[in-house]
Amino acid sequence: MTEWQPTSRTCFVCGRENPYSLGLQWSNDRERGEVRGRVTIPEQFNGFPGVVHGGVVAAILDETAGRTVLLDGGFDDLMVTLKMEVLYRRPTPTGTPLDVVGRLLKRSPDRAEAEAEMRLPNGWVTAEVKVILATPPDSVSSRWEQEREHWRVTPR
């Protein structure tokens, strides 16, 4: 049985009620220590015709890497990105099913390191990131509280 991660209502990447959301959902692969998702990015998110804008690719990979802290955690374990290094290996095509995979590399109570990659159907990596995550300051996390009751797994 697949274990799906919860999503929010308004997020650009995963928001269930955001009409501009990419609607990405992630599952936990505990055996491999990975989070996994699949997304097809519409042409409206291009940087050039037929090619996904690099900022959209980075946002998806940032969210995927950030979700690795949820493999063994929940809403209170969410972190924010302090640093992200992106390596674009090849153009990412619009209108193509893409797999995203994230792995947690290291974790302490207030920091984490993770990585994520985006893959074409043939397995080729189009882009990858390494991130440093941190527990957000109260001024940020307190604004998330209103979303807690709406943070849930939606039926697939």
Assess contact for 92 and 141: CB atoms under 8 A: no
Q: What does the domain layout of the chain look like in residue ranges?
A: 3-146
Residue-wise pLDDT for 82-119, tens only, equals 999 999 999 999 999 999 999 999 999 999 999 999 99
The pLDDT mean for the chain works out to: 93
Looking at residue 149, what is its pLDDT? 85
pLDDT band of 144, cuts 50, 70, 90? confident
Assess contact for 99 and 119: CB atoms under 8 A: yes
Residue-wise pLDDT for 22-52, tens only, equals 999 999 999 999 999 999 999 999 999 999 9
Instruction: Output the CA torsion sign for 45, 48, 49, 54.
Output: negative
End-to-end Cα spacing for the chain: 12
In CATH terms, 3-146 corresponds, of 3.10.250.10, 3.30.830.10, 3.10.129.10, 3.90.330.10, to 3.10.129.10
Q: Is the pLDDT of residue 1 over 80?
A: no
Share of the chain above pLDDT 90, in %: 77
- Report d(CA 41, CA 147) in Å as an integer: 26
